[in-house]
Structure 1
Amino acid sequence: MGPIGSQPEPLGPPRTLMCSHGALVLTMRITTVDVVGRAIPFDGAFPMSYEDHAASDHVFVRIGTDAGRVGYGEGTALPWFTGETTAGMVEVIERWITPSVEGRPVHEAMAALAAFDESFPNAPGATTAVDLALLDLEGKRLGTPVADLLGPTVRDSVPLVFVIPALNPADAVERAAAGVESGFRRFKIKADGDVGGDVERINAVLDVLPDDGTLRVDANTGWRDVATARRAVAGLDSTERIEYLEQPTAADRPEAMRDLWTETGVRVFADESVHGPGDLERLGERGLVAGCHLKLAKTGSLRGLRHLATVARRHGLSTSPVSAFGTSLEAAANLHLAATLTGMSAGCELCMNLVAEDVAEPAFDFEPVVDVPTDPGLGVGLPDSLFE
């Protein structure tokens, strides 16, 4: 496979137009694409139903232009979802995507990337990194935040969810108590598939939440079938403060989620069962779930994720934007998305507090509510030292 699309025209000087916000760049061509892969350790153990993970795999992109503007992007590998690795994401960008976008105006590069994604759909982490960098550039070219490129905005700040791994009950309670002390009221707990241990952990965390606190439970398919999931729910001291169950059963048997929802009265959201609009259309048309998670690491582009949210809304489904262990750069992209969502759940999961090092600049403070960036582009970048 070679570069996608026709060859770009020869480079010319960027054209600009003066406006009230300064120089508006009319044309801006890509001159350089720098990429680096990096594994960032978790800030402590992160057990879940798949396996224990010690680090998160990332690819970072810096795209330069003839106008002097620079765009930044980040992609995260979720090998249990997509099979991607850090080395694989770097190779895809360097070998296939870079030749397709270099020398092109930003809008043409976006079209070339979309064509690549359509012909090679199994590299969402790699395409996400380049997609975010191009959107960052487009926002900077127009002098507007990325949220305005996605659609009308409905909020300028976003409530966050405090995520707790599948730790032993005492450690899980310690994490939850720290979140409560910091002002969080929306929590998520991982389950690891051991129903007895999961129930003990969930009940212990529920005990330390304030009266207005809620908890979403993520089994990552670990409860497998309705009977097992029903047994887990039956063991809970109360379900009143359970916001929803996230993918409690096997991804290839979505009817089980509807059955569990019907039998227990606890809402169920899909994650592993959704990789694109077609999956969500089928779930929505059949009324199998109450909502779904939105992850760049599975979808491959922020605009594609926005389209997925539109499909969800058409079927009356709620959505939860999730940054899959990304830094503040990926978190910023999710904040811009969340700013446009009319059917968002109680909170957005931005997990930059779970990684030991947040390399983005500026890094967000992990707080119960975070403002959507208002600077042009994503509003968050990367240090040059990362690419040296």
Structure 2
Amino acid sequence: MKIKQIEVFAINLPLIKPFVISYATYPNMPSIIVKLTTECGLIGWGESVPDDHVTGETPEATFAVIKNTLAPILIGQNPMQFEKIHELMDAAVKDVPAAKAAIDIACFDVVGKKLSVPVYQLIGGRYHEKFPVTHVLSIDEPEKMADEAEQCVELGYSSFKMKVGRDVAGDVKRIKAVRNRVGDEIAIRVDVNQGWKNSANTLQALRQLESIGLDWLEQPVVADDIDAMVEIKLKTATPVMIDEGIRNVRDMREIIAKRAADKVNIKLMKCGGIYPAMKLANMAEMAGIECQIGSMVESSIGSAAGFHVAFSKKIITSVELTGPLKFSKDVGDLKESYMIPYIQLNELPGLGVDVNERILAELTQYSEVVQ
């Protein structure tokens, strides 16, 4: 089996409501979709959702690097040779993990279809039967976030990920408002997206939140300040998770060596796809660090890829892949697998996602074909 053609689509996924985090507000979600076709006529779908604050890539640059650099060197290659595919991509261009993730995901999808097995069977087999779905609360006024949380509890949600990071005092009010509204039995995870900058600000906030009973605190400081994470972990009983600070094997080695986190948030867009994500999960497992598969608010394609990784590993104990629930229109049908408060994957070959090419065409801003 060899790759015959790669099509690249730049699209905008329409959000039901704007997605607000510490450093940006997204009225819609830019995404790059890859359609990989083999000589035997099979199709694999991949996705890239880059973020210049996280992956160091923009959608425009990602489209260009896939079209001009990655796709041309992969025509004629065997998509089953995952290690070789990544070696070729890494030799052609440094970093650009989200761009490489799109190719990686498309390769796994088409290989699963070729062998008539779900992607999780290619990476260890299914371990988890289902995962709880965590609702993500965008940054808003404290009472509005509490209102949304209360409504979601009534729908069956039992855990929340709160986006904060605008200012410490306001964030403490937001977190307390949600806890007071939903009660002590609901799990609350707080994601600062680097917004508290340093350990001093973070510890100031945690002193006011120790009684709240947070599940964990995620990436309060700037991504590269691993030493600040070490200090926070030593001075608080609240578990801490690294997100933007874990992108590759080098980062994971440092985190393990310094015991800088209780948990790591692995995202396919940060590390380069399914194959590199499995390497990070295996490293974390050897060190006894629990993992989460996180979201860059991908469509059904990228979200399904993350779920296949999560469902295959015991050390992966949580997921936050809720992109398909946030879109008013999606290119795939993964939303059907969400049965709140759980998600359960189907057993279809590849990613198990039916891509609607009519909707893809409707959302496409521009596209290119590489043969």
TM-score by length of 1: 0.87
How far residue 130 of structure 1 moved from its aligned partner, in angstroms, is 1.4
SS at match of 2:49: strand
More displaced, 210-219 or 339-348?
A: 339-348
Deviations 1:112-135 (A, max 9, x none): 343213442332222111111110
Which stretch has the larger CA shift, 376-385 or 316-325?
Answer: 376-385
Q: Distance in 1 between matches of 2:334 and 2:261?
A: 37
Distance 1:328 1:41, change over 3 A: same
- What is the match of residue 279 of structure 1? 251
CA contact (8 A) 1:128 1:300 kept: yes
Partner letter of residue 52 of structure 1?
Answer: T
Alignment of 1:363-374 (within 5 A): 363-364=335-336, 366=338, 367-374=340-347
**Are 2:281 and 1:309 equivalent residues in the alignment?**
yes
Larger deviation: 194-203 or 62-71?
Answer: 62-71
Bigger shift: residues 359-368 or 242-251:
359-368
Alignment RMSD, CA only? 2.0
Q: 1:184 aligns with which of 145, 150, 157?
A: 157
1:33 Cα offset (Å): 1.3
Count of residues in correspondence between the two structures: 360
| 1:292-346 CA-partner distances (Å, limit 9, x unpaired) | 1011111112110011011111111111101211012111111111112212234
Indicate the residue corresponding to 2:306 in structure 1: 334
Unaligned ranges ≥5, structure 2 = 363-371
Give distance in 2, aligned partners of 1:56 and 1:174.
25
- CA change 1:361–1:229 in 2 (3 A) is same
Superposed, 1:97-246 pairs within 5 Å as: 97-108=70-81, 111-236=84-209, 238-240=211-213, 242-246=214-218
* The structure with more helix, counted as a fraction of residues: 2
- Choose from 344, 348, 358 the match for 2:330: 358
Paired with 1:59 and 1:362, the residues of 2 have a C-alpha distance of 18
Q: Secondary structure at the match of 1:339?
A: helix
Q: Cα distance, 1:373 vs. partner? A: 2.7
The corresponding residue for 2:365 is none
* One-letter amino acid matched to 2:289: L
Shift of 1:196: 1.2
Structure 1: tracts of 5 or more residues without a match: 1-27
Deviates more, 1:327-336 or 1:99-108: 99-108
Other-structure match for 1:261: 233
SS of 2:47's equivalent? strand
**Stretch of structure 1 that moved more, 49-58 or 360-369:** 360-369
Q: CA deviation at 1:186?
A: 1.5
SS of the residue aligned with 2:53? helix
**Matched residues in 1 for 2:286 and 2:81: separation?**
30
Change (3 A) 1:201 1:362: closer
Report if aligned partners of 1:38, 1:86 keep a CA contact under 8 Å in 2. Answer: no
Larger of the two Rg values belongs to structure: 1
Q: Which has the higher contact order (CA 8 A, sep 6+)?
A: 2
% of aligned pairs identical? 28
Deviates more, 1:137-146 or 1:357-366: 357-366
Secondary structure of the corresponding residue to residue 235 of structure 1 = helix
Letter in structure 2 aligned against 1:37: A
Contact 2:324 2:334 in 1 (8 A): no
